[in-house]
Structure 1
Amino acid sequence: MNAIEILGLVAAVVTTSCFIPQVFKISKEKSTKDISLVMYLIMALGLTLWLIYGIAIESLPVTLANGVTLLLVSWILILKLKYK
């Protein structure tokens, strides 16, 4: 693993982790009234496309970052629908 891949993995951890507080906040408060459904749907679509791209170019940082972030965003979407 070279320095650029390590940089990519660190960037992936930082950007992916920004969704974790939102998941915990929604789970704790059981409220999603201030969360935009459209924004998260568009985000999920973009992440899916990035995930496909990462797999296609065989990039571990791109694949991991977008795969994990897609899971977190999907969790938020599920909670959004559950706690309308």
Structure 2
Amino acid sequence: MDLEWMGYVAATLTTLSFVPQAIKTIRSRDTRGISLGMYVVFTVGVACWFGYGWALDSWPMMVSNTITFALAATILGLKLKYG
């Protein structure tokens, strides 16, 4: 049974979950409620997930983690700049 569709659904939903936080943070520049340590670890973890997806040649993992990395890195960058 090919369950790759489940990977696409999971990747889409988890990636989209970061969009509201990224938009709110970009607009408000308010990063007081964001943990610096959590975003550093999370951003590195997302980069590792991308590498794992690349090793497996898994497009859902690679695409979703590229987008999630960009969103998380943006939030992390704003935390470092305004935090």
Q: TM-score, normalised by structure 2?
A: 0.91
Deviation (angstroms), 1:45: 1.2
2: CA distance between counterparts of 1:30 and 1:69? Answer: 19
Unaligned runs of 5+ in 1: none
Sequence identity of aligned pairs in percent?
Answer: 41
Runs ≥4 in structure 1, deviation > 3 angstroms? none
Letter of the 2:76 counterpart: L
Name the SS for the 2:3 alignment partner. helix
Unaligned runs of 5+ in 2: none
Deviation (angstroms), 1:28: 2.0
Residue aligning to 1:50:
49
Q: How many corresponding residue pairs?
A: 83
Deviation (angstroms), 1:3: 5.0
RMSD: 1.4
Matches within 5 A, 1:2-81: 3-81=2-80
Deviation (angstroms), 1:73: 0.4
Asked if the contact 2:26/2:75 (under 8 Å) is kept, the reply is no
Deviation (angstroms), 1:56: 0.7
Asked if the contact 2:18/2:72 (under 8 Å) is kept, the reply is yes
Deviation (angstroms), 1:65: 1.5
1: CA distance between counterparts of 2:56 and 2:29? Answer: 39
Q: TM-score, normalised by structure 1?
A: 0.90
